[in-house]
Structure 1
């Protein structure tokens, strides 16, 4: 999977929306200590630097060298290139002994993971009591009825090239296995019950299409000789958008799970 994200590393950095600062404040309020956070699948460090506002140290790991080379620098964040699946010994050398991590985060990436292995390692490294794991992703942007209809058509055409074991993101993480006790308000954030919030980003048409250009599905399709964003599709997007110079507020739905190790 690393190769897919290597190829669109610059597009990820340029076009992906920013997660709300309030979300990181909420996560920080859930952990008893704020010494160490482990951001997994950190990519260009978008979440890592926000987490660093609340924790003394952040270890940000990813399997993509190109993504990490573009990551935002921060004095509290250490970026580490890792293999797709780490042994317990490799993980210990990076984040320390078991029970040393206050917060584990995965921003728009856990659906790519070997969940059984990852969750087992999370349970080992989280501080007990008081450690928290949080995973989240965003889906289904909303701009206008015409553009949203094109968005749905594009997603349908891209699904065969998405390389997903199952479409957890499109399902809003409702079906994502998550063997942790929920910690968010009103018992939300547990398996089958993600909390939902909204992100907004003002975008031009080029910026909106850039989000799609950064997707793994577009890269995979192109390697197979299929251009998902061909001229016909782009023309339909332009027609739906109207004035190409117009900026719209794009709304994304963010779905999140957060929990502690069961006792």
Structure 2
């Protein structure tokens, strides 16, 4: 059920974490290499980090507070809930650039069960755009959309169409995520490589389709400028944060999704 992750948006971590009365147990769903899980360890007594890929977990950075669990998609809901500590056991659930890969009704059903009531929080986010490279990013999205897995449409649209059946806590809601700024540093070559090695580009290449056109490359160069070394890039992350609705309300929404 769970794979692929990245760290917490710096500004985002300031907005929803202080609203939690307890900082005992957090769950990073789709932890990947464990970046997001590690960014939680200083704030929580225990971090449970899960992923459907055993291979990914082998490369995750170890920490005494972070407990990595392999959660294959064959696990039943009751088995997964039990592995996570049971009903009403989790203070915070996060999913960093991963939730769109999940079976959403199943994941949200588990999330609603394990979140502590009434204050447990779920936060999901994804990379969306680059403020410095907006035109080339738009060109990339337009090139990718016809070829990508339908689930990738969620992050490409900034989670604006992602089902999110939780009560808003003031930081985004279903259909209206909040946008957060992050800074990263890289060279132009590193940036181009990170784009060209994306799963959509690689899969298209296997079919003989080159999505990364000369026009896109030239626009990237123009927007990048003359800086030949490392430079700061301003990324936009889209985030949804919520808590469990009343049982009747959430169950109805999940049934509609199914």
- 2:27 is equivalent to residue 38 of structure 1: yes
2:145 is paired with a residue of what secondary structure? Answer: helix
Residue 127 of structure 1 and its aligned partner are, at CA, apart by: 1.0
Alignment match, 2:144: 158
Alignment match, 1:181: 167
Alignment match, 2:187: 204
Alignment match, 2:118: 129
Instruction: Find the aligned partners of 1:213 and 1:64 in 2 and give their Cα distance.
Output: 23
- 2:204 is equivalent to residue 218 of structure 1: no
Which digits, 9 at most, give the CA deviation of each residue in 1:64-122, with x for residues without a partner?
23322222222111112222363123213421111111111111111122111111111
TM-score (norm 2): 0.84
Instruction: Find the aligned partners of 2:157 and 2:40 in 1 and give their Cα distance.
Output: 26
- 2:85 is equivalent to residue 96 of structure 1: yes
C-alpha RMSD over aligned residues: 2.6
Instruction: Find the aligned partners of 2:63 and 2:152 in 1 and give their Cα distance.
Output: 35
Greater shift in the superposed pair: 48-57 or 200-209: 200-209
- Check whether the contact 2:16–2:171 (CA below 8 A) recurs between aligned residues: no
Q: Identify unmatched segments of 5+ residues in structure 1.
A: none
**Match among 35, 38, 55 for residue 49 of structure 1:** 38
Instruction: Find the aligned partners of 1:199 and 1:178 in 2 and give their Cα distance.
Output: 23
Residues 1:71 and 1:217: Cα distance change in structure 2 (over 3 Å): same
Instruction: Find the aligned partners of 1:166 and 1:69 in 2 and give their Cα distance.
Output: 25
Alignment match, 1:260: 243
**Match among 47, 50, 62 for residue 73 of structure 1:** 62
Residue 167 of structure 1 and its aligned partner are, at CA, apart by: 1.6
Instruction: Find the aligned partners of 2:92 and 2:193 in 1 and give their Cα distance.
Output: 31
Greater shift in the superposed pair: 129-138 or 244-253: 244-253
- Check whether the contact 1:38–1:58 (CA below 8 A) recurs between aligned residues: yes
